[in-house]
Structure 1
Amino acid sequence: MTAYECPRCRIQSPVEALTWCCPKCRGPWDLAFTSAPVPLPSLASRVNSLWRYAEALPPLPYGPEVSLGEGRTPLVRLTDSDDGSVSAKLDFLMPTLSFKDRGAVMLAAHARRLGPRTVLADSSGNAGTAIAAYGARAGLDCVVYVPEGTSPKKLEQIRAHGARIVEVPGDREATARAAREAADEPGVFYASHVYNPYFLHGTKTYVYELWEELGGRLPDTIVVPVGNGTLLLGAALAVEELYGHGLVEHRPALVAVQAEAVSPLAEAFHAGAEDLTGPAVARPTLAEGIAIPAPPRARQILRAVRATGGTFLTVTEEQIRTAQRDLAGRGLFVEATGVACWAAVSATPPRPGLTVVPLCGAGAKTGLAS
């Protein structure tokens, strides 16, 4: 049986309910779901989307109908040396040009099963675009809350898919608060990439693809940008599933990257804290997609990084600018948030073995950082 479960209170709720958070602590849900092993030899003949890993995904009857062929993005070598090599996974080549498609297709398939009056999302751009696109594919009415000052190109993309936009005065946190208030209204499905765990089970396919691409093994290090932590937590899910099923021999280190300007998780990690040490000051940063001062899943993120022997790195605004131009010079035009991991890896000594970084969003969404 699949059910929502609060990781703190252990309260459960049916996944058919529109309850978007734990009624006791108002925290995000996890999913009480047990995956089955994915047989590697059978993958060559399967559908070319993330649904090829059906055994690892929670059952969703409308998944294939909602799919836009997301997933299966290229893995490209960036550096190669005796000390260690770095490869990039090009998740900016998704249907809506960001990795958020991995989770959005899961939310849209689940929402179509429930048939809500409205699907609601909040985003600084990429998640909202993905929800709008997959909501359109599923025939759902969508509204997306965004902070004022969101990239006009991202707003245009959201509107093009037929979603309504609510621009909220203030920062990303103010937008999330406004969306959560609206999510309590009857008939609303909150397609939250933070609170709804179906999103995490979509992002975990990032690691399943690495496992398949590398012939049944995983990199030594997986570096991910972290704001709300949806890609990192999805990666941690996949690593535990693959290891638990005996499909890999080791767990890779998970290295999380934050912008120095907004780095509450990095501060908590290096202070040895199990949770945020206090509210972070939301200073301006080019990496707007990870500028989250109070991520609701902070405890889970910190625990996941520590469990793998990973760490947190931070990058400056100048390092982000330099990394974006460096990747563009290599033929890869990636938005500022999406280059944070390459910026961090470029500025630190190489780690042994293979390191993989995601390039999460296309540069065409925001342009070149100035």
Structure 2
Amino acid sequence: MKIFAPASTSSSKIAQVRAYGADIELVDGPREQSQNAAIRQSHGDAFYASHNWQSFFLQGTKTLAYEMWEDLDFRAPDNVIVPVGAGSSLLGCWLGFTELLAAGQIERLPRLFAAQPVNCSPIDASFSSGTDGPVDRVVRPTIAEGTSIARPLRRRQIVHALRNSGGASVAVPEDDIVRALRELCARGLFVEPTSATAAAAFTALTASGTIASSEATVVLLTGSGLKAPSMVAELLG
């Protein structure tokens, strides 16, 4: 098996891939360069395995909504904040809660919020501009590598889910991600910087009054710090 990955990928993630016996080819440049390299190799016995290209993948991620509903005593939260790169977790939440609403199991959709780093925030750029198409915004390296997708395949669906639920997008500066990462770790929640983006968005949304302290809000922490321990150690000093 051959895996293509950005040269900037955390060393711990690379070690996990190699431990499973795969050959890995590191590709210089933005994340989409490794995607393009994989697509070019997709012929014969090769297969481009990106979950975002698979039509049934969201049927799996929608179980996030059902689990929240069950854990909250069969009620929907008021808000859900999700770190967004390709958007599969957010779209899964939208799909699952939409099904629960149609089945009469909840009274309304929770507001969905997409958290992205300012340095790579194409969804926020589109949502803030009132469009679901691409909007020019400078893309820079970010410590939230899991969200570093400059051209998300399902952009239109993501923006629709935000608007349909009454939610919004949040673009988070790098310093705020580090601050949130430190606070989460101090609480015993060892997450990778990508997850800390959602926590930083929660802080921004409560500070602006968009989310009230009386509301039930779920912040999705999607990745363990064990995926990037060296980066976390360096960021926290």
TM-score, scaled to structure 2: 0.91
Task: After TM superposition, list the pairs within 5 Å mapping 1:331-342 onto structure 2.
Answer: 331-342=188-199
> 1:360 aligned to 2:226?
no
> 1:273 aligned to 2:147?
no
Gaps of 5+ in 1: 1-141
- SS for the counterpart of 2:47 is strand
Aligned match of 2:7: 148
Between the aligned partners of 2:5 and 2:139, the Cα distance in structure 1 is 16
1:281, distance to aligned residue in structure 2 (A): 3.0
**1:169 paired residue among 28, 37, 41:** 28
1:218, distance to aligned residue in structure 2 (A): 1.0
Between the aligned partners of 1:182 and 1:201, the Cα distance in structure 2 is 27
Partners of 2:81 and 2:201 within 8 A in 1? no
The Cα offsets for residues 281-334 of structure 1, whole Å up to 9 and x where unpaired, read as 320111111011111111111111100100001111111111111011111111
Between the aligned partners of 1:259 and 1:277, the Cα distance in structure 2 is 16
Between the aligned partners of 1:160 and 1:274, the Cα distance in structure 2 is 40
Partners of 1:282 and 1:292 within 8 A in 2? no
Aligned match of 2:59: 201
Task: After TM superposition, list the pairs within 5 Å mapping 1:224-235 onto structure 2.
Answer: 224-235=82-93
**2:164 paired residue among 292, 302, 307:** 307
Aligned match of 2:116: 258
Partners of 1:208 and 1:238 within 8 A in 2? yes
Between the aligned partners of 2:101 and 2:205, the Cα distance in structure 1 is 28
Between the aligned partners of 1:282 and 1:353, the Cα distance in structure 2 is 33
Paired residue type of 2:195: G
The Cα offsets for residues 211-232 of structure 1, whole Å up to 9 and x where unpaired, read as 1111211101011011111111
Whichever structure has more helix as a proportion of its residues is 2
Identity of aligned residues (%): 42
- SS for the counterpart of 1:189 is coil
Bigger Cα Rg: 1
Between the aligned partners of 1:269 and 1:348, the Cα distance in structure 2 is 16
Partners of 2:61 and 2:92 within 8 A in 1? yes
Aligned match of 1:291: 148
Number of equivalences: 227
Gaps of 5+ in 2: none
**Distance change >3 Å, CA 190–CA 299, structure 1 → 2:** same
Task: After TM superposition, list the pairs within 5 Å mapping 1:59-98 onto structure 2.
Answer: none
Between the aligned partners of 2:96 and 2:190, the Cα distance in structure 1 is 28
Higher relative contact order (CA 8 A, sep 6+): 2
Between the aligned partners of 2:69 and 2:40, the Cα distance in structure 1 is 40
**Distance change >3 Å, CA 205–CA 312, structure 1 → 2:** same
The Cα offsets for residues 238-274 of structure 1, whole Å up to 9 and x where unpaired, read as 1111111222111111111110111111011111012
Between the aligned partners of 1:281 and 1:161, the Cα distance in structure 2 is 36
- SS for the counterpart of 2:53 is coil
**1:348 paired residue among 183, 205, 227:** 205
Partners of 1:281 and 1:293 within 8 A in 2? no
Paired residue type of 2:13: K
The Cα offsets for residues 133-187 of structure 1, whole Å up to 9 and x where unpaired, read as xxxxxxxxx432101121111101111122221211211011111112222x023
Aligned Cα root-mean-square deviation (Å): 1.4
Between the aligned partners of 2:3 and 2:57, the Cα distance in structure 1 is 16
Partners of 2:9 and 2:145 within 8 A in 1? no
